[in-house]
Amino acid sequence: MDELELLNGVKIPIIGYGTWLIKNKDATNCVKMAIEAGYTHIDTAQAYGNEEGVGKAIRECGKDRSELFVTTKVAAELKTYKKAKKSIDESLKKLDIGYIDLVLIHCPQPWLLFRGKRRFFKENIEVWKALEEAYKEGKVKAIGVSNFLIDDLENIMNNCEIKPMVNQVLCHIGNTPSDVIKFCQENDIVVEAYSPIAHGAALKNEAIIEMAKKYNVSVAQLCIQYTLQLNTVSLPKASSKEHIEDNIKVNFGISDEDMISLIKLNEIDYGKDAFWPVFNKKNKAN
């Protein structure tokens, strides 16, 4: 699988298997299916509650540890150095895979305060120091953030020793945070696109469906290729063997004209999933 290179030379596979909302008891089987399908990049988080199941799959899949790239995230609610440090050690224990390839701050604010007036700049510096320490100690191979806006990133860059290597953001057709992506790429921060299929909402969008037909690919494949052509890492999530395999079979190109059309596509309807903070329209920001 193709890779992008992080600031410190670590290589990150451009398609990762997302595990959000996969229960711990199901995570082992799902991750094993993903690895069998060809994924070498697995994305989890403390908040997902499935690190143990993911780690079991990594240990039992038959692949050498060095062949796999595993990401987890410090819970958004942990906003002190001490709590973040403890949580990283807990993730290492739950995963039980020797080291973690990438650890992110899951969100600049606790989820209940997502995109609110309180920005937690000082607190995120403290959390970042815990990540820097884990990195220096070799517990993790790379460190980064998730859901950070430009000023959140500048706060870390201006006040900390190590620059974020990754920013994982919501990015899909109908929601492309172009300003954040541009800032990150200009500053050598790799952008990861989570929910590239818009948490399934893209599958019901007529404009996206028609574009997929044009290229004779599935809607999911079109969505994943879209994020790849933005030069981001794509993190699709699926639980069925068919969809897991389909999502990694992306070997076509979208024309420049069609990319422009897709970038301009109006925001799509998340339906019943709009209650999640990241899908709430009032929280959208570039």
Catalytic residue numbers read 48
| Long-range own/partner contacts, residues 154-161 (CB < 8 A, 24 or more apart) | 155/121, 155/124, 155/125, 156/124, 156/125, 156/128, 157/187, 159/125, 160/125, 160/128, 160/129, 160/132, 161/132
CA distance 11 to 4: 6
How much of the chain is in helix, strand and coil states, percent to nearest 5?
50, 15, 35
CA distance 7 to 23: 33
CA distance 252 to 261: 17
Closest by CA position to 131, among listed 99, 85, 75, 83: 85
Rounded to the nearest 10°, the torsion over CA 217, 29, 57, 88 is 90
Chain-centre distance of CA 184, in angstroms? 14
